[in-house]
Chain A
């Protein structure tokens, strides 16, 4: 029988090895801190993200001081506060999008890989078409178009267009990965045995196949997280993503461009936050890949 189903589960083994990787630990701690800051943004900030402190300061943007640790932006809003609430928007959007594309990608991939035949062919053609076009471009097109239609929706729902645009372009990668892995596992003895003993298809997919795919899936998810954070920031940068009054890192970078000679911190603060976050996710992703790599296993 396959070793992985009997001995220490691959996830537990990977987790053990991950903890021994210092870079991964640092990256993980940073992400946990960021997540806490984003979720508790109300607690850690003194000003609402859209509060315009224009009575105290006659000219804005104003440089960092004891009131506003990272200064204020061109409308007198607290940059620190916008950074944390921006993290909430960024990470929130990313979480939803990645869940959407993982759900769609995994289920389609499993199904196509296991069933084979026409289902598989259809899926592969579909992903071929999706792959024949750069993702970011498609996301730009989709969000530009869908957004103008959903503007009438109440505030937070306008984020829905982002979910949609990014979700649509995101799933094929996951679907292909899962399909490929499933294809390989399908012929394994324990799956054939399960099939022969009349285990229902649903149970084979969910109980037998899926757990064995957790490694590659987790690695793919981390990659997707990094990609979505970037894509969201880029779309917002192009004025196609999150709309005011919501803060967003991409938007903050964009609006700092005009003033960057005089007020460099307006550019540097969100830029560093964005780069560090993506970097942390990428480091974690690399560490995860190593951790799940069977060749590196003892």
Chain B
């Protein structure tokens, strides 16, 4: 098991390096830089050149990258923002990331609470009206993107009914709409996957045998089926989590949630390289860690899987 974890972590390092370099390079491919924005519309070329020197942006891209990686490796320094009065990125992540984490957790919880029972019920009552309705709802939810769902929820619940705040992130009430908007799609994904996974299990001989031995169908499913059906669902958690991370960028923008997504989108237009890099790196690390964790968990529960790849 330990060897497995070590192998996965080692394999992740080149991925992280590649991603960090990609993001680094991509950000710098832009012909216009942050310095022009900092210097503003009244700066002379001399000031622009001076600022470039001060920020080390006059060096070749590769040298900048090496400095960056060395900074991270030696003392966890992710650099400083070009905007926001030179705030260190680590400090920025410390204030912004918990917000995104909270949003993602709540959305995941929402997705599980709504998605898993729906999937189970749909499978148990396969081909019933509930099943059909649920699957229709699943496709509908998967098809309604957050840029549609979010504004529609705001319009109905916040503007017309005035039950909930429009946006912001200060009280639990504020977090409701973003949570639902972000979690809806994942709930649908989980419901669909749970259903098909449980259906597969129900077709297995041991369930049939259990029922033949006099177990009620419900008890047979509860005692034997559910655990086996939940296992494959675990593997899609990586995908679900990725969707939540990506989605949080959009949802945070819609609801003005002060997390890493909102700040990243802001930083992109300001060419605040260190912020973009820091946030992208964090997302990549998170994504990889979660996927490894899921694999490990899966390996613990079902040792046969250990050698296989994770599905996307």
Q: A145-B30, A173-B312, A234-B250 are in contact. Are A132 and B287 (CB under 8 A)?
A: yes
- Do A260 and B151 touch (CB < 8 A)? yes
- B307 interface residue, CB < 8 Å from A? no
Name the residue of chain A whose CB is nearest to the CB of B291: A132
Is A238 in contact with B265, judged by CB distance below 8 angstroms? Answer: yes
Quick one: which of A131, A256, A271 contacts B312, CB cutoff 8 A?
Answer: A131
Q: Is the interface of A mostly helix, strand, loop or mixed?
A: helix
Given A133-B19, A145-B29, A279-B140, A271 and B151 touching (CB < 8 A)?
A: yes
Question: Hey, which chain A residues are within 8 Å of B147, CB to CB?
Answer: 233-234, 237, 250, 253-254, 274
Whole-angstrom distance between the alpha carbons of A131 and B287 in the complex? 9
Most chain-B Cβ atoms within 10 A of its Cβ — which of A129, A132, A226, A282? Answer: A132
B74 CB–A CB distance under 8 Å: no
Q: Does B245 make an interface contact (CB < 8 A)? A: yes
Chain A min CB distance to B262 (Å): 11
Known contacts A134-B287, A226-B143, A238-B253; A275 and B23 CB within 8 A of each other: no
Given A140-B265, A275-B143, also A134-B246 (CB < 8 A): yes
Given contacts A132-B12, A144-B269, A275-B144, contact A283 B30 (CB under 8 A): no
Please tell me if B231 contacts chain A, counting CB pairs below 8 Å: no
**Interface residues in B139-189 (C-beta closer than 8 Å to A):** 139-140, 142-145, 147-148, 151-152, 154-155, 159-160
Contact with B along A255-293 (1 / 0, CB 8 A): 011001100100110010011001101110010000000
Q: Is B284 an interface residue, CB under 8 A from the partner?
A: yes
Q: How many Å lie between the Cα of A136 and that of B239 in the bound state?
A: 13
Interchain CA distance A281-B140 in the complex, whole Å = 11
| Cross-chain contact B31 with A282 (CB below 8 angstroms) | no
Partner of A137, one of B16, B280, B312: B280
A250 vs B11: C-alpha distance when bound (angstroms):
38
Cβ–Cβ < 8 Å partners of B11 in chain A: 128
A226 CB, min distance to chain B CBs, angstroms:
7
A238 touches B152 (CB 8 A): no
CB distance from A241 to the nearest CB of B (A): 11
With both beta carbons as reference points, the residue of chain A lying nearest to B152 in the complex is identified as A271
Nearest CB in chain B: distance from A174 CB, A: 12
Q: Give complex CA distance A146, B268 in Å.
A: 12
CB of B145 within 8 A of CB of A233, answer yes
Contact A145 B139 (CB under 8 A): no
User: B245 and A141: CB pair below 8 A?
Assistant: no
Residues of A within 8 A of B159 (CB): 260-261
User: Does B246 lie within 8 Å of A132, measured CB to CB?
Assistant: no
C-alpha spacing A283/B137, complex, angstroms: 11
A120 contacts B by Cβ under 8 Å:
no
B269's nearest neighbour on chain A, judged by CB, is A144
B265 touches A282 (CB 8 A): no
Given A271-B151, A275-B144, does the pair A136, B249 have CB atoms closer than 8 Å? Answer: yes
Q: Is B288 in the interface zone, CB < 8 Å from A?
A: yes
Within the complex, which residue of B16, B27, B253, B288 is in contact with A141, where a contact is CB–CB below 8 Å? B27
Interface: A9 (CB within 8 A) = no
B143:A278 contact, CB within 8 angstroms: yes
- Let me know if B31 and A271 touch, CB within 8 A: no
Residue of A nearest to B185 (CB): A230
Q: Is A132's CB under 8 angstroms from B288's CB? A: yes
User: Is A149 touching B30 in the complex (CB atoms < 8 A)?
Assistant: yes
Residue of A nearest to B242 (CB): A134
Residues of chain A contacted by B269 (CB below 8 angstroms): 144, 239
Task: Chain B residues near A131: list those with CB within 8 A.
Answer: 312
- Chain B's nearest CB lies how many Å from the CB of A33? 17
A176 and B310 alpha carbons, distance in the complex (Å): 12
Asked whether, in the complex, the Cβ of A176 is within 8 Å of the Cβ of B312, the reply is yes
Return the 10 tightest CB-CB contacts between A and B, nearest first.
A279-B143, A134-B246, A136-B246, A278-B143, A271-B148, A132-B15, A144-B268, A237-B147, A261-B159, A145-B30
B: which residues have CB within 8 A of A? 11-12, 14-16, 18-19, 22-23, 26-27, 29-32, 139-140, 142-145, 147-148, 151-152, 154-155, 159-160, 242-243, 245-247, 249-250, 253, 265, 268-269, 276, 280, 283-284, 287-288, 312
